[in-house]
């Protein structure tokens, strides 16, 4: 019989609902796993086992009284350390904020709690969600990066320390670490999940996302997190579907557009060969796959994204940077100093390109149920001084489109590879249905060494 920590989000919800598993037993199983693996992985910045167990006992008492708060009742979830958590330290990976304890929860955290979830702890992030690495290691090979900026969230889910964890993406900070660590990473349309109570990096690019071990788990979590928030003026009033019901909604195999020209040119040979193998397997299962033609603005996307993120990042940090310059790491310091020097006309030009690219992508997306690319140019790089290359996710984050990384295989060295699926704006339900189809065809399920060797 599987240990509680081995079960995914959907399985845990069923077992707890049927009273075959108690929230206390689940919390104890996860905390025991963290106790053994955390010295090697360093995926967490803050965990309070006593508070977690206290909350688990509370959930247990509520179950005995017949009270269910929601679909995540009694399930511990990891939270990236840029989300405010009332009464729990929130550092954004910076020594400047080492003692900061918010008085309120980020909206996303509040919605987790309302659905019955327990905040297991805060997961490690690169400094202020930029490129100065966190100490976290990759569960598949401790000498390789887990990616960033949501480093701890990806590693914790991959190592079965928690069934799901919150992250965020400004360029590639959810999907890249998801691919490196062999888990599902999801970034919805910008504005689908509230950003209130999250340390900002780039006002017009920051998108809240998360990590799970299956597409179905992602559908469950998105339903909990999505929706308009009056505290976040950029959040959307678009209706929020029952995403889990949409997973089998495709009446035929999907029409998928492969984005080839840029991705083939910039991917390592082993990655592109793997992507071609994935395409053949999907075609064999009935998917119609043709090459998708990108608009001319695609070639300006990466340059425009760098300008916007630098200017907005500098704006977000300007006041604190004046007082704590020496406390900043080298990469975030460089971003702030460059951003403060970029002319306003260049920033406005970048925003114009962003609006045009998103409009042009609407026409492209009408032809397909989703687009497909490799998630990353390579598997997780060796060494911990870099978090890898976000270039393959940049266009879709830039356009604000929903995207998902699905684990799809392993390199010759045994490191995970992923495919990236992209959907139309507000088309998360269709994207999840396409991802569910691909997940069933690819059937990636091989456990990594840490998952195999640990015994509670």
Give me the residue spans of the domains in the chain. 4-253+372-453, 297-352
Taking all residues of the chain, what is their mean pLDDT, rounded to a whole number?
96
pLDDT digits (tens, 9 = 90+) for 212-230: 999 999 999 999 999 999 9
pLDDT of residue 455: 43
Mean pLDDT for the stretch of residues 40-69: 97
Q: Are 360 and 401 in contact (CB under 8 A)?
A: no
User: Mean pLDDT lowest for which of 79-83, 172-176, 188-192, 246-250?
Assistant: 246-250
Within 19-152, strands assigned E span 44-46, 76-80, 118-123
pLDDT band at 1 (very low <50, low <70, confident <90, very high): low
pLDDT of residue 121: 98
Q: Say how far apart CA 359 and CA 421 lie, in whole Å.
A: 19
Q: Are 111 and 225 in contact (CB under 8 A)?
A: yes
pLDDT band at 180 (very low <50, low <70, confident <90, very high): very high
Mean pLDDT for the stretch of residues 256-276: 97
Q: Are 202 and 170 in contact (CB under 8 A)?
A: yes
- C-alpha angle 16/174/167, rounded to 5°? 55
pLDDT of residue 2: 86
Catalytic site includes residue 40: no
pLDDT of residue 163: 98
Q: Among 29, 94, 149, 235, which one carries the catalytic annotation?
A: 149
CATH architecture, domain defined by 4-253+372-453: Alpha-Beta Complex (3.90)
SS3 301: helix
Catalytic site includes residue 173: yes
pLDDT band at 445 (very low <50, low <70, confident <90, very high): confident
Catalytic site includes residue 122: no
Q: Among 80, 122, 187, 216, which one carries the catalytic annotation?
A: 80
pLDDT of residue 134: 98
Q: Among 94, 173, 403, 408, which one carries the catalytic annotation?
A: 173
Q: Name the burial class of residue 53, with classes exposed (0-12), middle (13-18) and buried (19+) by CB atoms within 10 angstroms of its CB.
A: middle
Q: What percent of the chain has pLDDT over 90?
A: 97
């Amino acid at each position: 019989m599987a240990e509680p920590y081995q079960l995914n989000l959907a399985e845990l919800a069923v077992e707890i609902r049927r009273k075959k598993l108690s929230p206390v037993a689940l919390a104890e199983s996860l905390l025991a796993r963290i106790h053994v693996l955390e010295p090697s992985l360093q995926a967490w910045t803050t965990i309070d086992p006593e508070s977690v167990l206290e909350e688990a006992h509370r959930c247990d008492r509520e179950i005995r009284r017949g009270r269910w708060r929601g679909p995540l009742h009694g399930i511990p979830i990891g939270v990236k350390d840029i989300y405010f958590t009332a009464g729990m330290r929130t550092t954004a990976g910076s020594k400047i904020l080492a003692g900061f304890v918010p008085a309120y929860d980020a909206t996303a955290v509040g919605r987790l709690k309302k659905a019955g979830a327990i905040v297991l702890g805060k997961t490690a992030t690169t400094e202020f969600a930029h490129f100065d690495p966190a100490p976290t290691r990759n569960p598949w090979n401790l000498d390789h990066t887990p990616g960033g900026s949501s480093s701890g969230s990806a590693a914790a889910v991959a190592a079965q320390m928690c069934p799901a964890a919150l992250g965020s993406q400004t360029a590639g900070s959810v999907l890249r670490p998801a691919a490196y660590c062999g888990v599902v990473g999801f970034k919805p349309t910008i504005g689908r999940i509230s950003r209130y109570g999250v340390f900002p990096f780039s006002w017009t690019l920051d998108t809240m996302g998360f990590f799970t071990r299956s597409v179905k788990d992602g559908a469950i979590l998105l339903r909990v997190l999505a929706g308009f928030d009056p505290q976040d003026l950029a959040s959307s009033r678009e209706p929020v579907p029952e995403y889990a019901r949409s997973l089998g909604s495709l009446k035929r195999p999907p029409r998928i557009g492969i984005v080839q020209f840029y991705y083939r040119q910039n991917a390592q040979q082993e990655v592109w060969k793997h992507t071609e193998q994935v395409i053949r397997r999907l075609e064999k299962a009935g998917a119609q796959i043709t090459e998708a033609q990108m608009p001319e603005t695609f070639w300006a996307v990466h340059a425009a994204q760098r300008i916007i993120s630098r200017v907005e990042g500098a704006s977000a940090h300007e006041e604190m940077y004046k007082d704590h310059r020496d406390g900043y790491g080298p990469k975030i310091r460089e971003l702030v100093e460059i951003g403060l020097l970029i002319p306003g006309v260049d920033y406005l030009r970048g925003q114009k390109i962003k609006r045009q690219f998103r409009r042009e992508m609407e026409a492209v997306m009408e032809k397909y149920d989703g687009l497909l690319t490799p998630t990353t140019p390579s598997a997780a790089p060796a060494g911990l001084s870099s978090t890898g290359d976000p270039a393959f996710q940049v266009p879709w984050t830039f356009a604000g489109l929903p995207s998902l990384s699905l684990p799809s295989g392993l390199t010759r060295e045994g490191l995970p590879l992923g495919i990236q699926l992209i959907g139309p704006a507000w088309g998360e339900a269709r994207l999840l249905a396409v991802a569910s189809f691909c997940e069933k065809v690819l059937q990636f399920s091989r456990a990594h060494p840490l998952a195999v060797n640990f015994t509670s």
